């Protein structure tokens, strides 16, 4: 908020020709390396759409986990706006591997089939699991053999960094990620998202694709100023560390009550089984999503502003119902 107030002074040129955006670009280059080219956008869906369009033609295919955000939570926008086919793969833990992807890599050069061009992964995944450095490297090395790009959706990437005890560059550029949706909104920012391309051919047309995707912000300084504040003094890692800590606290409390967790609680997302009647009662005083009605799974997400009191209140109500 302080960064926004400071940017809200006098007149500034529009569409990114302002000192705040220039500073934010420098800050992100310092973070990811000189080859990083940031492109600021409004929201995560817009970031994913812009990134996919930078890599894919309408006759291409994007391979993603069936639980991926672009597959289930973006109202079909990535496929609709890019024209590319979204090919979904079943995974046990929300993470893709070369072995899971390999059966999808066929039909190259055959005009009757969408051509595989991109693999999409989320870090953290929608199931709360985190890719290790080795897993990302193996995936990138594998698909690069097929002249394909790796897109990482980093809506919660800071939480993954904290879980792995790594910096942003170590789990993106250094692992072979080609383009990143770098999110700030889920970790404390008001409306700060960006697409960061790491390969020159992906940078060439990205500003035009951002405009076509309705993601060009006239008063861009209100987005870029947030990123400079977000990166300063490791604020993004501090916020994420708090969210992860609250998730561990919640996990321990619910585990002690005998609840079954269906995924590894790597960062700040918990998936567990809960009877429908209990869910119905809890939803009267707490907000969360039912992840899968068939398996009676719910998803609990802690954030940068979750308090210990929030956790205690939730656990107290669970105990009353139990």
CATH number where 243 lies: 3.90.1150.10
Q: Indicate if 178 and 52 belong to the same structural domain.
A: yes
Residue 219: give its domain's CATH number. 3.40.640.10
Write down which residue in 205, 234, 263 finishes a domain.
234
Residue 91, CA distances (Å) to 5, 95, 100, 108, 127 in order: 44, 6, 8, 24, 10
- Total domains present in the chain: 2
Beta bridge partners of 152: 121, 180
Confidence bin at 275 (pLDDT 50/70/90): very high
Q: Estimate to the nearest angstrom the gap between the alpha carbon of 270 and the chain centroid.
A: 16
The reported pLDDT for the residue numbered 16 is: 92
**Domain boundary pick from 234, 260, 281:** 234
**Do 226 and 242 have their domain in common?**
no
pLDDT, one tens digit per residue, over 11-60 is: 999 999 999 999 999 999 999 999 999 999 999 999 999 999 999 999 99
Spatial separation of the C-alpha atoms in residues 297 and 43, rounded to whole Å: 27
Same domain, 202 and 293: no
Q: What is the mean pLDDT of residues 173-181?
A: 97
Average pLDDT, the chain: 95
- 229 and 240 housed in the same domain: no
Q: Are residues 163 and 262 in the same domain?
A: no
Same domain, 196 and 248: no
pTM: 0.95
Residue-number span of the structural domain to which 289 is assigned: 236-321
Q: Taking residues 92-106, what's their average pLDDT?
A: 96
Q: Are residues 178 and 281 in the same domain?
A: no
For the segment 59-86, the average pLDDT, to the nearest whole number, is: 94
Among 206, 234, 262, residue at a domain's last position: 234
Tell me which DSSP letter residue 130 carries. -
What order do you get walking across the sheet with 297-301 strand by strand? 269-273, 297-301, 289-292
> Are 134 and 25 contained in the same domain?
yes
pLDDT of residue 217: 92
User: What percent of the chain is modeled with pLDDT above 90?
Assistant: 98
pLDDT for the residue numbered 220: 95
pLDDT of the residue at 315: 97
Share of the chain above pLDDT 70, in %: 100
Question: What value does the mean pLDDT take over residues 246-267?
Answer: 96
Over its C-alpha atoms, the chain yields an Rg (Å, rounded) of 20
């Amino acid at each position: 908020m302080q960064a926004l107030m400071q940017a809200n002074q006098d007149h500034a040129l529009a569409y990114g020709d302002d000192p705040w955006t220039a500073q934010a670009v420098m800050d992100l280059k310092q973070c990811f390396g000189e080859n990083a080219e940031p492109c600021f956008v409004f929201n995560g869906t817009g970031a994913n759409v812009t990134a996919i369009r930078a890599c894919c033609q309408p006759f291409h295919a994007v391979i993603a986990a069936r639980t991926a955000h672009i597959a289930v939570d973006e109202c079909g926008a990535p496929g609709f706006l890019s024209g590319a086919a979204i090919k979904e793969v079943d995974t046990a833990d929300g993470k893709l591997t070369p072995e899971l992807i390999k059966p999808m890599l066929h039909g190259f050069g055959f005009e009757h089939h969408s051509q595989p061009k991109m693999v999409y992964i989320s870090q953290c995944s929608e199931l709360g699991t985190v890719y290790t450095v080795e897993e990302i490297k193996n995936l990138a090395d594998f698909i690069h053999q097929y002249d394909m790009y790796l897109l990482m959706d980093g809506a919660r990437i800071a939480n993954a960094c904290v879980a792995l005890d790594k910096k942003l560059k170590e789990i993106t550029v250094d692992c072979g990620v080609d383009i990143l949706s770098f999110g700030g909104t889920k970790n404390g920012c008001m409306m700060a998202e960006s697409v960061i391309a790491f390969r020159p051919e992906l940078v060439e047309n990205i500003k035009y694709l951002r405009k076509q995707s309705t993601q060009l912000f006239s008063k861009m300084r209100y987005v870029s100023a947030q990123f400079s504040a977000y990166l300063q003094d490791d604020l993004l890692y501090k916020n994420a560390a708090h969210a992860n800590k609250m998730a561990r606290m919640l996990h321990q409390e619910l585990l002690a009550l005998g609840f079954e967790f269906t995924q590894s609680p790597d960062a700040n997302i918990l998936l567990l089984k809960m009877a429908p009647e209990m869910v119905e009662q809890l939803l009267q005083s707490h907000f969360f999503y039912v992840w899968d009605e068939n398996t009676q799974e719910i998803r609990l997400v802690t954030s940068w502003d979750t308090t210990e009191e929030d956790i205690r209140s939730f656990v107290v109500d669970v105990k009353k119902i139990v």
